[in-house]
Amino acid sequence: MNEQVIHYLLNILPATTSFVQQLEKEAKQNHVPIMEPLSMDFMLHILQLKKPKRILEIGAAIGYSALRMAEVAPDCEIITIEKNEQRYQEAVMNIEKQGKSSTIDVILGDAIDKLNELQNDSFFDVIFIDAAKGQYQKFFEQSVPLLARDGLIITDNVLFRGYVAQPELAPARFKNMVKKIHHYNEWLMHHPNFTTTIVPIGDGVAISLKKH
């Protein structure tokens, strides 16, 4: 979308709580990557339609997305994984501040390892991937056994600043990651067990629905 359309949509988004606004401000100041407002709004609507009982998030950061998801699914159990210990501590603190510790469980560790440990857990209705972009395919593959029969997987940043569509414009430091995301998108769109659509909103959101 062009900048005028983005600006228009941002201006008509419903107001968020003061706590959410504070988290967004802190994330911006500390260069913590969180989901963009339009992408978040879109995902929250998906969750309201899906009405999940259990959500797994890969990439907690400071707990922003988990708390936003809990807003629209207050009775849902959310498990979120974070590798960075400082961000893990911040996520736990933010979740405690909002009184959501009973419904949101933050796990410290590498998602690759933790996904293996969750294999004997109950199924998840929604799995949200928003962590190391170069590991997306691994995250997805290890998430599949944890997904409920009619579950869906949501992946953020699949267009990564538009560079995935125009890799020649990507700065050198991003080229390898952009290449991996491009490969992930191609792999995802042709996955035999999922139907996927990529929505060009925010930084690009992929919605993958498990086939019966």
Distance CA(4)–CA(76), nearest Å, equals: 36
Sheet holding 147-156, edge to edge: 104-108, 77-82, 54-58, 124-129, 147-156, 205-210, 194-199
| Cα dihedral 91, 96, 97, 99 sign | positive
The pairing of strands 104-108 and 205-210 is unpaired
Annotated binding-site positions for S-adenosyl-L-methionine = 35, 65, 82, 110-111, 130
Distance CA(172)–CA(146), nearest Å, equals: 36
Annotated binding-site positions for Mg(2+) = 130, 156-157
Q: Which token pair is 89?
A: 């501590």
Annotated binding-site positions = 35, 65, 82, 110-111, 130, 156-157
DSSP state of 169: G
Q: How many CB atoms lie within 10 A of CB 78?
A: 26
- Contacts of residue 196, Cβ cutoff 8 Å, sequence gap at least 6: 188, 189, 206, 207, 208, 209
